[in-house]
Each structure stands twice: as structure tokens, then as C-alpha cells.
Structure 1
Amino acid sequence: MTPDRIALLLSTFAFLAAVVPALRALQTGDWRRGMAQKLTMALGFVFQTGAIYLRGQVVGQCPMKSVSDILVFIAWSVVLLYFLVGTTYRVSLLGMFTAPLVAAMHGLAFALPGAFPDYAAKPKIDAWVELHAALALVAYAAFALACVTGVMYLLQERFLKRHLIGGLFYQLPPIQGLAKAIQRQVLLGLILLSASLAITFKLDTPITNPKLIFAWGVWGLYAVMGFIAWRHALSPRQTAWLAAVGFVIPFISLWLVT
């Protein structure tokens, strides 16, 4: 096994281990263990960053061409955004939802047929092309985090309706805060994806390019979602469902255009 895959495997184990402190806290009601999970997530992020760097050295460019590499890059971006917005939420609980998602994306990246293939040699690397791709994938990570937050909202609402007031309920952020967080994450993703698509005009990318068509489709989906949320045309619960289920479309598009 190559060094980059060893680092990615260690990262996967770290993210799986990060769930354990949160599960113990659920059993005991003692959420002071959250720092242990945060440190474990940080260790996983370090291994994850190392894996992407080593993979980049192997292929001689930023590893964002195969589905396996794209999954890893999005997972890395999800963790980065998790740390950036962690102060907005109860970090332990957000990590409990985020860590399994990241580990699952790593596992899928390993399991795909022909995972982590070699790249064709590139005579010259265009920084604008790399920036365009990176911004698009970080935008997808923001949409993934909106999906996670949507699941948290639906879980909180379920507890409220069934009067299940317990340890997990008290650790969830206020339901109004989760609704606003979904809107902010969708907006962040839209801004990043808009910047990525704006670069394509500089690159003179043909409008018939399949990747560009699907990217604009994803942009349109989340633009509508953001507009609906801004106009309060749907209930927060329906918006949470849209955020949770809507991520299926950009996720599937990775296979369709790669």
C-alpha cells in the first residue's frame, strides 16, 4: 500500500474513533468528553491533509480527477468547514454527525473499482483550472454540511414532537439556529460555486461541456433552495428536508461527469 493510502486509512480510523466519545457521552450524559473527539477529528484531518499532499506528489497535480480523489477532497473540505463553523454549534455533536459521513466517503473512495488511478502527464498546470475545480468541490462540501445540519434539524424536531427530552436533545443547538445555519451553509456553497463557474468564462469552457452543465444544474437547485428559504416560502422543516435530500443530486453528479 502506498504512503498516501496508508495516511488516508489512518485518517479513516481516526474519524471512526471520533464517534466513540460522543456515543459514550450519549450514554452518560457527560458532554465534557467533547475535547477528546475534537482532538481525534483534528488528528484525522492531519492524516487526511497528508494523504492529499502525497497523492498530489504521485500524480503530479492537484488530485481532483478521479471519483475516488474527488470524494477524498470533498471529505477534506467538509472537515475544514466543520472546524471553521464548529464554534457556532456544540462541536461534539456536529462532529458525531460529520465524522461518520467523512469515514463513509473515505470507505467508498477505497471501494470503487479502479480506485485512485494514475493520471495522464500534464505538460503545464493551469492555476485557473485548478482553482475552478477546488472551489466547486469546497462548495459541494458546504452543501454536504447543510445536509448534515438538515438531518440535525429533523432529529431535533422529532424529539420535540415526541417529547423525547433527554441527553441528546439538550446537546442539539436551538432548532431556530439550525434552520438559520442551513441557510448560511447553502449561501456559502452558492457563493463558492458561483465563483467557480465565473472562472469558466475566463477559461472559455464550451457551454456543452457535461461537467459545466451539471455544475450549473447544481447551482440552479441550490439557488432555488436559497431563494425559497429567503422568501420563507417553505417551512423550516421542508427546507431541512430539501437540504438533506438535495445533496443526493450533486453527489450522484460526481459519477456522471467524471
Structure 2
Amino acid sequence: MPPDRQLLLLATAAFLAAVVPAARALLSGHWRTTRQWIPMLIGFALQTGAVYLRGEAVRQCPMKSLSDVLVFIAWSVVLLYFLVGPTYHVSLLGIFTAPVVTLLHGLAFVVPNAFPDYSLKAKIDPYVELHAALALIAYAAFALACITGVMYLLQERLLKRHRIHGLFYQLPPIQDLSKAIKKLVLLGLILLSASLAISFKLTTPISNPKLIFAWVVWGLYAVIGLIMWRHVLSPRQTAWLAAVGFVIPFISLWLVTSHG
């Protein structure tokens, strides 16, 4: 097994290590958050090494195959986790993020033609690489908005059922989760807008299915963002939008890699 795959497996084990003990602690009611970031940080470092070695192997930014796209999004999700979690005091975000990252890693290994060799490029266009990277980081922001939406819905469910226990006390105020969802959707929209703006400098025709689907995703989250800004729906309904809305960009990954 190539070194980048080995590091990716170790990173997956680290993310699992962030979930299993914490889940047991939550069930027992004795939860401590002080050390949860350690396995997440180890996993992120191993992820970064895996992405770097994969890039060295294919001689370009590894964002062409479906496997590499899944890994890059997983890496971006963890990066945003470290940036967003402390900002909103979302101490349990790692427990919700780590399983998603583990799932993305697992899918990267089992999809058909996983981690294929790339055809060598005579010249790498930095605009193409930047366009793709910004789009995938935007998708990672939407993924975190989805995760945060699930946390919001879980807390609301606990409140309605008056189930106040260890898990409830570790969730941030529900208002903070609502704000975090809005900020993450806005961040994703800004990044995806920048990516699509760069696409006008590329030779790729606007009729390319990859770009069409990117514009569809942008339109979807622009509507979600407008709904959030205008307070058309309740916070619960917008949390559902953020959670369910990620289905579209997730499905689009197959289209992106099919027409890359």
C-alpha cells in the first residue's frame, strides 16, 4: 500500500479515537472535553501528510478522482472544524464531525477505481487548481453547516422531550448553533462565488456539466442564505435546510469527477 494510503488509514483511526471514548463518556454522563481535540489534531496532521504525498505521487493537486475529492473535502472539513469550533464554543462538534470524516475516508477507499494514476500535465494552470480547491472547501463549509444543523435539531429534540443529561449540557446554546449555521452557509457561498468567478478565466465552456452543477449548488445555497437572512422560515426549518441541502453538493461530486 502506498505511503499516502497508509497515512490516510492512520488518520481514520485517529478520528475514530476521537469518537469512541467520547461517545462512551456521554452515555455514562461523565463527559470531559479538554482532550477531545488531541486525536482530531493528530488525524488532521496525518490527513495533511496523506494529501501532500498523494500530490507528490500524481505531480499535481490531488483533486481529479472521486477518491481524492472525498479526501480533500474531509481534510477541509477538519480544517474548518478547528477554525469554527472555538469561535462558537461548539465543544461537541468533533464528535459529530469525526464520523462524517471517517465515512468520507471509507468511501474514498471503496469507490470504483479508487486513487487512480493521473495523466501527467505538461503545464499546470494555477487558476484551474485554485478554482477546484475553493469549490471543494466551499463544499466542506456546507458539510459543516449540515453537521451543525443536525446538532441544532438534536438539541431542539432534547428540549422538547425534556431529556436533560450529559449530552445536552455539552451542546452550545441553541442560538449559537443557529448563528453558526448562517455563518457557515455564508462562508461556503463566498468561497463558491470566488471559485465560479475564477471559472470565467478558464477555457472550460460555461456549458460544461461540471460548471452547470456548481451553479446549481450556488443557486441552492443562495436561496437558503436569502431565506436565513430574511427570516422567512423558523430556525428549525432553516436547520433542516442546511442538513438536507448538503445532499445536492454531495451527489454532485460524482458529476465533478466524471467531467473533470
Q: Report TM bin, short chain.
A: over 0.9
Q: How far, CA to CA, are the matches of 1:229 and 1:86 in structure 2? A: 21
Residue 130 of structure 1 is matched in structure 2 by 129
TM-score, scaled to structure 1: 0.97
Structure 1 unmatched runs, 5+: none
Residue 55 of structure 2 is matched in structure 1 by 56
Residue 143 of structure 2 is matched in structure 1 by 144
- Which of the pair is proportionally richer in helix? 1
- Percent identical: 77
Aligned 8 A contact 1:140 1:250 in 2? yes
1:23 Cα deviation (Å)? 1.3
What root-mean-square deviation, in Å, do the aligned CA atoms of Structure 1 and Structure 2 show?
A: 1.1
1:21 Cα deviation (Å)? 3.1
Aligned 8 A contact 2:91 2:172 in 1? no
1:25 Cα deviation (Å)? 2.6
1:214 counterpart = 2:216:
no
1:172 counterpart = 2:167:
no
CA offsets 1:135-194 (integer angstroms, 9 cap, x no match)? 000000000000000000000110111111111111111111111111100000000000
Q: How far, CA to CA, are the matches of 1:256 and 1:129 in structure 2? A: 17
1:4 Cα deviation (Å)? 0.4
1:86 Cα deviation (Å)? 1.6
Q: How far, CA to CA, are the matches of 1:91 and 1:76 in structure 2? A: 19
1:92 Cα deviation (Å)? 3.9
Residue 18 of structure 1 is matched in structure 2 by 18
Q: How do 1:1-258 and structure 2 match up within 5 A?
A: 1-32=1-32, 34-258=33-257
Q: One-letter code of the match for 2:79? A: L
Q: How far, CA to CA, are the matches of 1:207 and 1:127 in structure 2? A: 19
1:95 Cα deviation (Å)? 0.3
1:30 Cα deviation (Å)? 3.3
Equivalences, count: 257
Q: How far, CA to CA, are the matches of 2:20 and 2:35 in structure 1? A: 10
Q: How far, CA to CA, are the matches of 1:115 and 1:125 in structure 2? A: 23
Q: How far, CA to CA, are the matches of 2:71 and 2:20 in structure 1? A: 22
1:209 Cα deviation (Å)? 0.7
1:204 Cα deviation (Å)? 4.2
CA offsets 1:56-100 (integer angstroms, 9 cap, x no match)? 011000000000000000000000000011213445410000000
Aligned 8 A contact 1:35 1:92 in 2? no
Q: How far, CA to CA, are the matches of 2:35 and 2:174 in structure 1? A: 26
Q: How far, CA to CA, are the matches of 1:30 and 1:188 in structure 2? A: 35
Q: How far, CA to CA, are the matches of 2:67 and 2:90 in structure 1? A: 28
Q: How far, CA to CA, are the matches of 1:46 and 1:121 in structure 2? A: 27
